[in-house]
Amino acid sequence: MTTISRNQAICMFYGEKYTEENAARLFKKIEGTELEICHLHDPSEPILIWEKKVNQYPFRYNKYPECETSNETSTVVEISFTCQSQIVHFLNLVYLASDPGNENMYERQQVSMRQIFASIWQYTAFFDTKTLQAFTVWCTHKKLNFLKAPAKRKLTNTGDRMNVRTLFVLKNNLINNTAKGIAEHLPKHQALLHSLKKDGHTIVGYVRKSLTNDKEAKRIKLLQQMCDNLKQRSMVDVVFGSTHSKANDPFCSRDLTKRKQTVEDDDDLGNTQGKTSIQLCSMSNMSTLDMLEFIASKSKICIVALDHAGLTTNTHDLREFLRSHPQVKKIIVDKLPHTHEILVYDCKELVKDDELLQAFNCRIASFQRSKVYP
């Protein structure tokens, strides 16, 4: 995904060719209207939203970066990436293997692995004790985008030879803002949740474990870690889940087989006794069926799941579930440890939009939902 500037976005919204003159003219159209140009999931689909709404839901509505006229390196600010997914996301935005068709944001350069290595140092301490070779191995393991560009040998001014790649690199004056946006991802997510709670929403976490041959002790441990992740990252009010179900099982058919074993979270999360109990398959207050009863007793619900498949991959059943439970206003999908994404869905839009709903029809390879972030 490439970076698009605010000026480019306004031209895209009105369907006009991008020039600075056109952008300035189009912004005059919305001057004094308190409207802001922003986007939901895809930056290539700009929308106009009331500025107050954008400030109220800073994670749902994403602002476009300003494109400064100078191409000098912007002032370095204190930014520290705390996990590898942030680093991967940053490098995939800054260094592209193919032409994004956006010469105002990217420029074609010949770049060595050493230059890429040096560019990430100021944003993380993760590589402080790593060698260039170790960084190269790490990039290969993470399958970074720029590795798709072929490397070739180049003779330097000192007569040495080094490998370089022809890449499309984000302009220097935009790099710090890009890094800042990535570093603020989790705080923005939590600000949205605070706003939803203030608006009367109950934040419901949902965990699910597939039918595997895992021993019960391991299954419980993984489920407990998922609960902890939901508590720490998304400040959920209660967690429900399914311990033995497929991603495409209808909600109403999950957890019909009763089991006895229970695991409790000692922290203040969960039921009215201040504990989250997970009982393997039919849970006394933690099963999917219990969640449906809980939802029916509330007026505004926001469900948070770890990955789309952590909730469901059955798009038909999800649509019917949302139609029969209008109390569910939003679904948030947390993919922070893996792709550094948090996706916010408005449930009315999910019901009406087939293309948007298809995001849940996604089971290619499973994510480790118990993974901690950072």
Write the pLDDT tens digit of every residue in 182-203.
888 788 888 889 889 999 999 9
For residues 289-298, average pLDDT: 90
Pick from 182, 202, 228: which residue ends a domain?
182
Q: What tens digit of pLDDT does each residue of 333-347 get?
A: 988 777 777 888 999
Instruction: Let me know if 171 is exposed, middle or buried by CB neighbors in 10 A (0-12, 13-18, 19+).
Output: buried
pLDDT computed for residue 368 by the predictor: 55
Rounded mean pLDDT, 153-160:
74
Q: Write down the residue that tokens 């993984």 correspond to.
A: 222
pLDDT tens digit sequence for 52-88? 778 766 667 888 877 654 444 444 457 888 888 889 9
Residue 369: per-residue pLDDT: 53
% of the chain with per-residue pLDDT over 90 = 32
Domain co-membership, 239 together with 203: yes
**Per the structure, how many domains does the chain have?**
3
- Note the pLDDT of residue 263: 36
> Is the same domain home to 122 and 38?
no
* Residue 270 to residue 9: CA distance in whole angstroms: 43
Rounded to whole angstroms, how far apart are CA atoms 40 and 345? 9
Instruction: For residues 51 and 343, give the distance between their C-alpha atoms in angstroms, rounded to a whole number.
Output: 20
pLDDT of 116 > 90? The answer is: yes
pTM for the model stands at: 0.62
Q: Does 25 fall in a domain?
A: yes
Residue 231 lies in a domain: yes
pLDDT at 273: 31
Residue 363 has what pLDDT?
58
Boundary of a domain, candidates 135, 160, 182: 182
Residues 282-301 have a mean pLDDT of 78
pLDDT of 256 reads 67
Of 74, 75, 40, 78, which is closest to residue 59 (Cα–Cα)? Answer: 40
pLDDT-derived band at 1, boundaries 50, 70, 90 = low
Boundary-marking domain end, from 155, 182, 209? 182
Please tell me what DSSP assigns to residue 258: B
Strands (E), the chain: 35-39, 47-50, 62-63, 95-96, 106-112, 151-155, 161-170, 202-208, 238-242, 262-265, 276-279, 301-306, 328-334, 342-346
- In this structure, are residues 184 and 192 in contact, taking their beta carbons and an 8 Å threshold? no
Measured on CA atoms in the order 349, 204, 262, 368, is the torsion positive or negative? positive
> Does 374 map to a domain?
no
Please give the residue range of the domain that contains residue 51.
6-63
In a domain, 278, yes or no: yes
Measuring CA to CA, which residue among 262, 255, 264 is closest to residue 290?
255
What pLDDT sits at residue 290? 86
Collect all residues with Cβ–Cβ distance below 8 Å to 141 and sequence separation of at least 6: none
- pLDDT bin (cut points 50, 70, 90) of residue 258 is very low
Residues 275 and 131 in one domain: no
Taking the C-alpha atoms of residue 192 and residue 344, their distance in angstroms, rounded to an integer, is 10
For residues 268 and 146, state if they share a domain.
no
